[in-house]
Structure 1
Amino acid sequence: MIMRPGHQQLLLPVNPFFLWASLIVALLLNMVPLGRAAWLPDLLALAIVFWSVHQPARIGIGAAFVFGLLMDVHQTALLGQHALSYTTLGFFAIMVHRRLLWYPLVSQALQVLPLFAISHVIEVAIRLVGGGIFPGWQFLIAPVIEATLWPLASLLLLAPQRRAPEPDANRPL
């Protein structure tokens, strides 16, 4: 078997309950009424990209579309604005998932930055076509924050898979 650079440990299979719970928690965190500043990161987009990269067979474009519709309804945005954005994110994340996992976390963050930027540009473009106002150039800060959160999300969301399958006194995990 070919090991990835850095000799990463083999991970246990992801628990489907944990996967879907993390997506729902990200959705709920996006729904917290903090006001909608253009620079705030989209945590649901981060979770969708993460799970599309790590579990492309379980999280696909359909799930991204449904979560996008939920965000559209919550934010009273044009129906399909977030859905198209998240679907595009899911597609590109699945497209690059094999290549992306060979890199260390910092390089992964740099490679997902354009995905997040495309997502925000799609949302702003749809908003402008629908007659909305331009949110200002600070909307370009959000993809940078999301890419900066990528290593933290990787550590948190992969933590349950790193435990030993049968812990005992001889293994520290």
Structure 2
Amino acid sequence: MNHPQYILQPVNPLFIAFSLILAFILNLLPWGGSIGIPDFVALVLVFWSIHQPRKVGIGIAFTMGLLMDVHDAVYLGENALAYTLLSYFAISIHRRVLWFAPLVQTFQVFPLFLGVLIVKLAVRLLVSADSHFPGWLYFLECVVTTALWPFVTWLLLAPQRRPVDKDETRPI
């Protein structure tokens, strides 16, 4: 209990929009067929659904999912369904997750990221007759996304930790 407890300032809605747009742009980068590249949109959606459930909810998750569906050229609604369920379950556990430190929160959010991959895979397998199971390395994406959780938490909460009043004698 030696670490400082911050009272966070209100989040700027423009910062939320900027982080979602940046996550979308990171998903647009041509990673190729690389294994283990995290889903940045899912990561940021879970973060804001847990920390700001009244500002980022199921509607934004659905919209981001449709945008990712168009970009990935997959069945329309595959990512939208996965992100909507992701946001719903993130909002439903947000009070419990916030009690823990970011490193312990990774155990709470891992099933969410795993669920996204399972929903996407289930839609692909159910809709297309020629699709097959991609292998167990397909699930490496949720492990990498979960491993980024403490860093993303620190990064996205940083603007809210600023002091309200400027004090010239305060070292930070």
Indicate the TM-score class for this superposition, using the shorter chain for normalisation: over 0.9
Residue 115 of structure 2 is matched in structure 1 by 118
| Structure 1 portions without partners, runs of 5+ | none
Is 1:33 aligned with 2:30? yes
Residue 11 of structure 2 is matched in structure 1 by 14
TM-score (norm 2): 0.94
Compute the displacement of 1:5 (Å). Answer: 10
Is 1:23 aligned with 2:9? no
Residue 171 of structure 2 is matched in structure 1 by 172
Q: Is the 8 A contact 1:60 1:90 kept in 2?
A: yes
Q: Is the 8 A contact 1:41 1:142 kept in 2?
A: yes
Q: Is the 8 A contact 1:38 1:135 kept in 2?
A: no
Compute the displacement of 1:166 (Å). Answer: 1.9
CA distance in 1, matches of 2:64, 2:80: 7
TM-score (norm 1): 0.93
| Structure 2 portions without partners, runs of 5+ | none
The superposition leaves residues 120-157 of structure 1 with CA deviations (integer Å, 9 ceiling, x where unpaired) of 00001111112133222111111111111000000000
Residues 8 and 57 (structure 1), Cα distance of their counterparts in 2 relative to 1, 3 Å cut: same
Deviating above 6 A after TM superposition, structure 1's stretches of 4 or more consecutive aligned residues are none
